[in-house]
């Protein structure tokens, strides 16, 4: 067998790029079906209560309207153990914006008009949607997101903090944030007898399939879920969401295919959001900046339907050496839409707080913030004592400082002025854990010299399909164009969710295993594939299913330069640089895009994104892209990204760590720290709006 150059590590363009730009790639609401009907949701206008009556007579007057489904008349779904998909089961309203009925019609316009004509009467009850750090009813959850304990202590924080020479004690706030993937949550569903097919937009169709089978009490084999192309999710499609259950339910009820694409302004209430956090960070250090005491206490909220706890204090358990530490989470259960995953849940808001506090400590100690972080580098993971599988934070900081020109910076705040503009720069560290979940794959060698690999991976726009093809080609030892990788269908070998930055590791591992095995079999057959081909199956239930003796995380350093307009209060980003250490980078082209995307989302979090739960209505006041400002091209400067290649043998056969989320972590802190350097103002509540700046200047 000839030796080919490895294609992992090469900047291979997306395999489906042409399909996407020519419109040939089909998304969930793109599938034309005979007899297709359209659905539009009716959502609750109270934040808590019970439905006492639903009048659909006006809605049904239009002959184009096929049905108005409600809890009173819809086929009853079984309990699938997930309250987010338990649709139209109960007259109880748990939050404003909950879907209480679904209009189904021949056209989208008729469905929308019908939904608007449905009259719902409620027995309204008082609601409570306001999170404060001192409100009654805060409780300690059994655990927080990703299975972490709510509280951890080591040493004696109180005594050490009281004895510290230099202290920082500050409260940081992040408002609710919305995922807003470009493609809304959409599904097209059709029943053929007891067999269900759905085209669905999700981050993992293996679970969508098993959930639909449970809801409708049919065999998984009779549920086909197709999710070939997905236009983003950022966590909001991480588990099945109501749209897919509703589309399938409606298709069953009307006996025709049904398409439901959630309107943009209905998404935030029913598909999850990043819960707001109020985080108090206390740091106690000596005059040289060595941290002796570190406390990170998070207050956040969940809904009455589910418990989801944003684990914002968790990264403080592994970032810096400190003999004494206290990290806690307290939760309010409110009448709010259910929070869920949003890009780097926990680390993203948590590192905004910790890395802002580190900047405050650097100022208090009169120390360079890069140097402060280097001085507090832990030899092992502080809370667990486990060794790091690899940790190159210091290298990222040093390399970033060099590339950014950090050392030319005058550390004094508010001294760099250009007319009405104040200019400043900031730095922050970033981190994200290594997740890997068991997955299955199949590899097939044809007698024509071509290969087919199957794994139910989901490409949410990351380049998963492309990277898996690279991994397969290398493991097979054949050129890229001889390998076809099939993903995005529930009937393929089970793959884990495209979440937790785990996809490439989780799917790539069984792909690598199956392909390496297949290569051996082809070799054993004398390099000749027999008629009928050769077939191999692999899974990583063993390898990826257990724990690890290592603390495994990716790290990075974020640098930012801003200009603050003293007349308008506007903050503009001049440049950003991220340097990351995330194992081997398997595709520099798609990886760069992930890092830049994360950093851009962090820019949005710092400056433009944010929402507010209106106490009267009990819902977000920002529900569409006109009021919730996702950063646009004009907001985003050139973003520069570099990485330090790590050789970490404790990961997976590709040596990769996840890259989808780390880019957002620390970006907002770097920007807020830059605003402080520019102006001397410390903004501890995001987003940093012009009015905040003007009031402070
Ligand atoms: Mo990501 S929030 O794990 O989809």
- The CB of 204 under 6 Å from ligand 1? The reply is no
The first and second tokens of residue 466, run together, are 């492309």
Query: Which of 661, 663, 664 should be mutated for ligand 1, with most atoms under 8 A from CB?
Result: 661
Distance 345 CA to ligand 1 centre (A): 7
Q: Which H/E stretch holds residue 61?
A: none
- The CB of 272 under 6 Å from ligand 1? The reply is no
Provide the β-strand partners of residue 282.
Answer: 169, 295
- The CB of 232 under 6 Å from ligand 1? The reply is no
Q: What is the number of H-type helices and E-type strands within the chain?
A: 14, 27
Q: Is the pLDDT of residue 385 over 90?
A: yes
> Quick one: which atom of ligand 1 is closest to the CA of 345?
2
- The CB of 237 under 6 Å from ligand 1? The reply is no
> Quick one: which atom of ligand 1 is closest to the CA of 234?
4
- The CB of 499 under 6 Å from ligand 1? The reply is yes
- The CB of 460 under 6 Å from ligand 1? The reply is no
> Quick one: which atom of ligand 1 is closest to the CA of 344?
2
Distance 38 CA to ligand 1 centre (A): 29
The CA distances from residue 186 to 498, 612, 645, in Å, are 17, 25, 38
- The CB of 493 under 6 Å from ligand 1? The reply is no
Distance 383 CA to ligand 1 centre (A): 24
The CA distances from residue 83 to 217, 337, 360, 615, in Å, are 17, 12, 42, 24
Q: Helices 503-524 and 464-476: crossing angle, nearest 10°?
A: 30
Q: Helices 242-254 and 264-271: crossing angle, nearest 10°?
A: 110
How confident is residue 205, by pLDDT bands cut at 50, 70 and 90? very high
pLDDT of amino acid 546: 82
pTM of structure: 0.98
Cβ neighbours of residue 583 closer than 8 Å, sequence gap 6 or more: 390, 554, 646, 648, 651, 654, 655, 656, 657
Q: Is the pLDDT of residue 2 over 80?
A: no
* CB contact at 8 A, 55 and 190: no
The first and second tokens of residue 559, run together, are 């640098």
Over residues 87-106, the mean pLDDT reads: 98
> Quick one: which atom of ligand 1 is closest to the CA of 502?
3
Q: Give the CA count within 13 Å in the CB-facing half-sphere of 392.
A: 19
- The CB of 435 under 6 Å from ligand 1? The reply is no
pLDDT of amino acid 547: 82
Query: Which of 343, 436, 502, 657 should be mutated for ligand 1, with most atoms under 8 A from CB?
Result: 343
- The CB of 664 under 6 Å from ligand 1? The reply is no
- The CB of 342 under 6 Å from ligand 1? The reply is yes
Give the integer Cα–Cα distance in Å for 433 and 449: 39
Share of the chain above pLDDT 90, in %: 98
- The CB of 235 under 6 Å from ligand 1? The reply is yes
pLDDT of amino acid 533: 97
> Whose Cα sits closest to atom 4 in ligand 1?
235
Over residues 366-384, the mean pLDDT reads: 97
> Quick one: which atom of ligand 1 is closest to the CA of 660?
1
Query: Which of 146, 201, 234 should be mutated for ligand 1, with most atoms under 8 A from CB?
Result: 234
Distance 276 CA to ligand 1 centre (A): 17
- The CB of 339 under 6 Å from ligand 1? The reply is no
Distance 501 CA to ligand 1 centre (A): 7
How confident is residue 1, by pLDDT bands cut at 50, 70 and 90? very low
Q: Is the pLDDT of residue 457 over 50?
A: yes
Active site residues: 661
- The CB of 115 under 6 Å from ligand 1? The reply is no
pLDDT of amino acid 3: 61
Share of the chain above pLDDT 70, in %: 99
Distance 324 CA to ligand 1 centre (A): 31
Over residues 2-11, the mean pLDDT reads: 80
Closest of 224, 214, 215 to residue 250, by C-alpha:
215
Beta strands per DSSP E along 482-539: 483-486, 534-539
- The CB of 343 under 6 Å from ligand 1? The reply is yes
Give the integer Cα–Cα distance in Å for 43 and 40: 10
* CB contact at 8 A, 472 and 444: no
* CB contact at 8 A, 200 and 224: no
- The CB of 238 under 6 Å from ligand 1? The reply is yes
pLDDT tens-digit profile of 426-435? Answer: 999 999 999 9
Q: Mean pLDDT score of the chain, rounded to an integer?
A: 97
Over residues 19-48, the mean pLDDT reads: 97
Phi, psi of 177 (to 5 degrees): -125, 150
> Quick one: which atom of ligand 1 is closest to the CA of 661?
1
Distance 283 CA to ligand 1 centre (A): 29
- The CB of 273 under 6 Å from ligand 1? The reply is no
Query: Which of 178, 312, 461, 499 should be mutated for ligand 1, with most atoms under 8 A from CB?
Result: 499
pLDDT tens-digit profile of 624-682? Answer: 999 999 999 999 998 999 999 999 999 999 999 999 999 999 999 999 999 999 999 99
Give the integer Cα–Cα distance in Å for 498 and 203: 5
Distance 344 CA to ligand 1 centre (A): 6
pLDDT of amino acid 6: 86
Distance 343 CA to ligand 1 centre (A): 5
**Local structure of 258: helix, strand or coil:** strand
Q: Is the pLDDT of residue 361 over 90?
A: yes
Q: Is the pLDDT of residue 545 over 90?
A: no
Pairing of β 37-43 and β 258-261: parallel
Distance 498 CA to ligand 1 centre (A): 7
Give the integer Cα–Cα distance in Å for 608 and 622: 12
> Quick one: which atom of ligand 1 is closest to the CA of 341?
2
Q: Which H/E stretch holds residue 639?
A: strand 639-643
pLDDT tens-digit profile of 328-350? Answer: 999 999 999 999 999 999 999 99
SS3 per residue for 9-58: CCCCCCCCHHHHHHCCCCCCCCCCCCCCEEEEEEECCCCCEEEEEEECCC
pLDDT tens-digit profile of 48-69? Answer: 999 999 999 999 999 999 999 9
- The runs of H, that is alpha helices, within 104-166 are 108-117, 157-162
Distance 497 CA to ligand 1 centre (A): 9
The CA distances from residue 125 to 47, 136, 213, 686, in Å, are 8, 19, 35, 32
Higher pLDDT, 551 or 2: 551
How confident is residue 691, by pLDDT bands cut at 50, 70 and 90? very high
């Amino acid at each position: 067998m000839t030796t080919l150059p490895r294609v992992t590590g090469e900047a291979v363009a997306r395999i489906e790029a042409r399909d996407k730009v020519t419109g040939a790639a089909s998304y969930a609401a793109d599938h034309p079906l005979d007899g297709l009907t359209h659905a539009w949701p009716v959502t609750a206008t109270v934040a808590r209560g019970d439905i006492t009556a639903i009048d659909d007579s006006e809605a049904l007057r239009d002959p184009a309207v096929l049905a108005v489904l409600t809890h009173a008349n819809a086929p009853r779904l079984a309990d699938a153990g997930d309250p987010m998909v338990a649709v139209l089961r109960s007259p109880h309203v748990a939050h404003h914006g909950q879907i209480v009925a679904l209009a189904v019609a021949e056209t989208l316009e008729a469905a929308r008009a019908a939904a608007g004509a449905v009259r719902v009467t409620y027995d309204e009850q008082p609601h409570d949607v306001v999170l404060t750090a001192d409100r009654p009813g805060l409780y300690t959850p059994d655990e927080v997101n990703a299975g972490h304990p709510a509280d951890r202590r080591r040493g004696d924080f109180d005594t050490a903090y009281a004895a510290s020479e230099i202290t920082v004690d500050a409260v940081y706030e992040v408002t609710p944030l919305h995922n807003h993937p470009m493609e809304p949550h959409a599904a097209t569903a059709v029943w053929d007898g007891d067999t269900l097919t759905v085209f669905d937009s999700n981050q993992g169709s293996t679970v969508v399939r098993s959930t639909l089978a449970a809801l409708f009490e049919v065999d998984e084999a009779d549920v086909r879920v197709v999710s070939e192309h997905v236009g983003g999710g950022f966590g909001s499609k991480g588990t099945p969401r109501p749209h897919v259950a509703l589309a399938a339910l409606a298709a069953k009820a009307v006996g025709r295919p049904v398409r439901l694409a959630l309107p943009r302004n209905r998404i935030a209430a029913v598909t999850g959001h990043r819960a707001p956090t109020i985080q108090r960070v206390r740091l106690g250090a000596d005059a040289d900046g060595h941290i002796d005491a570190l406390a990170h206490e998070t207050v956040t909220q969940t809904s009455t339907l589910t418990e989801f706890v944003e684990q914002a204090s968790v990264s403080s358990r592994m970032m810096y050496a400190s003999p004494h530490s206290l990290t806690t989470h307290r939760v309010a259960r409110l009448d709010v839409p259910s929070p869920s995953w949003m890009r780097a849940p926990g680390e993203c808001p948590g590192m905004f707080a910790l890395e802002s506090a580190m900047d405050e400590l650097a100022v208090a100690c009169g120390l360079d913030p890069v140097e402060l972080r280097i001085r507090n580098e832990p030899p092992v993971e502080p809370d667990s004592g486990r060794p790091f599988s690899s940790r190159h934070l210091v290298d990222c900081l040093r390399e970033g400082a060099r590339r950014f020109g950090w050392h030319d910076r005058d550390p004094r705040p508010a001294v760099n002025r250009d007319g009405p503009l104040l200019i400043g720069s900031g730095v922050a560290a970033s981190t994200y854990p290594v997740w890997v979940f068991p997955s299955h794959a199949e590899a097939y060698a044809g007698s024509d010299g071509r290969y087919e690999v199957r794994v139910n991976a989901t490409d949410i726009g990351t380049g998963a399909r492309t990277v898996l093809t690279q991994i397969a080609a290398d493991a097979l030892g054949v050129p890229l164009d001889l390998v076809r990788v099939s993903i995005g269908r529930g009937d393929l070998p089970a793959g884990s969710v495209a979440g937790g930055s785990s996809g490439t590791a989780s799917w790539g591992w069984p792909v690598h295993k199956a392909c390496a095995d297949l290569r051996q079999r082809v070799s054993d057959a004398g390099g000749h594939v027999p008629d009928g081909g050769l077939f191999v199956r692999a899974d990583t239930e063993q390898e990826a299913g257990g724990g690890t003796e290592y603390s495994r995380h990716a790290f990075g350093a974020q640098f930012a330069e801003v200009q603050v307009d003293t007349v308008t209060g506007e903050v503009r980003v001049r440049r950003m640089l991220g340097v990351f250490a995330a194992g081997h980078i398997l595709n520099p082209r798609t990886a760069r895009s992930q890092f830049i995307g994360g950093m851009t989302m962090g820019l949005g979090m710092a400056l433009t994104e944010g929402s507010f739960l209106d106490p009267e209505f009990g819902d977000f006041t920002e529900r569409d892209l006109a009021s919730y400002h996702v950063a646009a091209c004009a907001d985003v400067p050139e973003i520069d990204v570099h990485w330090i290649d790590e050789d970490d043998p404790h990961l997976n056969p590709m040596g990769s760590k996840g890259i989808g989320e780390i880019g957002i972590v620390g970006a907002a802190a770097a920007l807020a720290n830059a605003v402080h350097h520019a102006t001397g103002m410390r903004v501890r509540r995001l987003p940093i709006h012009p009015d905040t700046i003007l009031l402070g200047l």
